[in-house]
Amino acid sequence: EPEVTQTPSHQVTQMGQEVILRCVPISNHLYFYWYRQILGQKVEFLVSFYNNEISEKSEIFDDQFSVERPDGSNFTLKIRSTKLEDSAMYFCASRRDGQGGQPQHFGDGTRLSIL
Protein backbone atom coordinates (compact mmCIF):
# COMPACT_ATOMS: atom_id res chain seq x y z
CA GLU A 1 0.00 0.00 0.00
CA PRO A 2 1.44 3.46 -0.88
CA GLU A 3 2.59 5.49 2.07
CA VAL A 4 3.82 8.92 3.05
CA THR A 5 7.54 8.93 3.82
CA GLN A 6 9.39 11.48 5.93
CA THR A 7 13.11 12.12 6.36
CA PRO A 8 15.02 12.33 8.57
CA SER A 9 13.37 10.38 11.37
CA HIS A 10 15.30 12.42 13.94
CA GLN A 11 16.98 15.81 13.53
CA VAL A 12 19.08 17.51 16.19
CA THR A 13 19.89 21.17 15.52
CA GLN A 14 21.39 24.08 17.39
CA MET A 15 19.07 26.95 18.24
CA GLY A 16 19.11 29.61 15.54
CA GLN A 17 19.98 27.20 12.76
CA GLU A 18 17.79 26.53 9.75
CA VAL A 19 16.23 23.10 9.36
CA ILE A 20 14.41 21.47 6.45
CA LEU A 21 12.07 18.55 7.03
CA ARG A 22 11.26 16.46 4.00
CA CYS A 23 8.18 14.51 3.01
CA VAL A 24 7.20 12.46 -0.01
CA PRO A 25 3.40 12.32 -0.12
CA ILE A 26 1.45 9.54 -1.82
CA SER A 27 1.94 10.07 -5.55
CA ASN A 28 -1.63 10.73 -6.72
CA HIS A 29 -2.54 12.92 -3.75
CA LEU A 30 -3.25 16.59 -4.24
CA TYR A 31 -3.58 18.04 -0.73
CA PHE A 32 -0.66 18.21 1.68
CA TYR A 33 -0.40 19.11 5.36
CA TRP A 34 2.08 19.61 8.16
CA TYR A 35 1.19 19.00 11.80
CA ARG A 36 3.30 18.90 14.92
CA GLN A 37 3.05 17.48 18.40
CA ILE A 38 5.01 19.00 21.25
CA LEU A 39 5.66 16.38 23.92
CA GLY A 40 2.63 15.97 26.17
CA GLN A 41 0.39 18.20 24.07
CA LYS A 42 -2.20 17.66 21.33
CA VAL A 43 -1.31 17.27 17.68
CA GLU A 44 -1.57 20.77 16.13
CA PHE A 45 -2.19 21.85 12.56
CA LEU A 46 0.50 24.01 10.95
CA VAL A 47 -0.30 24.44 7.25
CA SER A 48 -2.15 23.00 4.29
CA PHE A 49 -0.99 23.19 0.68
CA TYR A 50 -2.85 22.69 -2.57
CA ASN A 51 -2.13 23.58 -6.18
CA ASN A 52 1.33 24.90 -5.30
CA GLU A 53 0.18 27.36 -2.72
CA ILE A 54 -0.71 27.55 0.95
CA SER A 55 -4.45 27.13 1.39
CA GLU A 56 -4.62 27.55 5.17
CA LYS A 57 -2.17 28.14 8.01
CA SER A 58 -2.39 28.31 11.78
CA GLU A 59 -1.12 31.02 14.12
CA ILE A 60 1.91 28.83 14.81
CA PHE A 61 2.97 29.07 11.16
CA ASP A 62 4.66 32.47 11.35
CA ASP A 63 7.34 34.03 9.13
CA GLN A 64 9.94 31.59 10.42
CA PHE A 65 8.14 28.75 8.64
CA SER A 66 7.79 28.07 4.94
CA VAL A 67 6.68 25.17 2.78
CA GLU A 68 7.61 24.19 -0.72
CA ARG A 69 6.91 21.51 -3.27
CA PRO A 70 10.08 21.95 -5.32
CA ASP A 71 9.90 19.06 -7.76
CA GLY A 72 6.42 17.54 -7.88
CA SER A 73 7.22 14.78 -5.42
CA ASN A 74 8.85 16.27 -2.31
CA PHE A 75 7.00 18.51 0.13
CA THR A 76 9.29 20.36 2.54
CA LEU A 77 8.87 22.35 5.74
CA LYS A 78 11.61 24.87 6.47
CA ILE A 79 12.15 26.56 9.81
CA ARG A 80 14.48 29.51 9.24
CA SER A 81 15.87 30.21 12.69
CA THR A 82 14.92 27.48 15.12
CA LYS A 83 13.91 28.15 18.72
CA LEU A 84 13.89 25.77 21.67
CA GLU A 85 10.08 25.69 21.54
CA ASP A 86 10.19 24.29 17.99
CA SER A 87 11.24 20.94 19.47
CA ALA A 88 8.43 18.57 18.55
CA MET A 89 7.41 15.64 16.37
CA TYR A 90 6.51 16.96 12.92
CA PHE A 91 4.06 14.98 10.78
CA CYS A 92 3.40 15.32 7.09
CA ALA A 93 0.05 14.14 5.70
CA SER A 94 -1.58 13.95 2.29
CA ARG A 95 -5.09 13.50 0.97
CA ARG A 96 -6.17 12.34 -2.44
CA ASP A 97 -8.66 15.03 -3.45
CA GLY A 98 -11.30 17.45 -2.20
CA GLN A 99 -14.11 14.92 -1.83
CA GLY A 100 -15.61 14.73 1.64
CA GLY A 101 -15.22 11.63 3.75
CA GLN A 102 -11.55 10.98 3.01
CA PRO A 103 -8.94 10.49 5.69
CA GLN A 104 -5.50 12.05 5.70
CA HIS A 105 -2.54 9.70 5.33
CA PHE A 106 0.31 10.40 7.70
CA GLY A 107 4.03 9.77 7.63
CA ASP A 108 5.97 8.35 10.58
CA GLY A 109 7.11 11.82 11.61
CA THR A 110 10.40 13.63 12.16
CA ARG A 111 11.44 14.20 15.75
CA LEU A 112 13.08 17.64 15.85
CA SER A 113 15.25 18.41 18.87
CA ILE A 114 16.57 21.96 19.27
CA LEU A 115 19.56 22.37 21.59
Q: At its nearest, how many Å lie between other proteins and the CB of residue 17?
A: 26
Nearer to other proteins, 68 or 97 (CB): 97
Q: At its nearest, how many Å lie between other proteins and the CB of residue 72?
A: 21
Residues near other proteins (CB under 8 A) are: 3-4, 31, 33, 35, 42-45, 48, 55-56, 58, 91, 95, 98, 100-109
CA distances from 94 to 10, 60, 107 (A): 21, 20, 9
* Residues ≥6 apart with Cβ < 8 Å to 79: 18, 19, 21, 64, 65, 86, 112
Q: At its nearest, how many Å lie between other proteins and the CB of residue 79?
A: 20
Nearer to other proteins, 14 or 42 (CB): 42
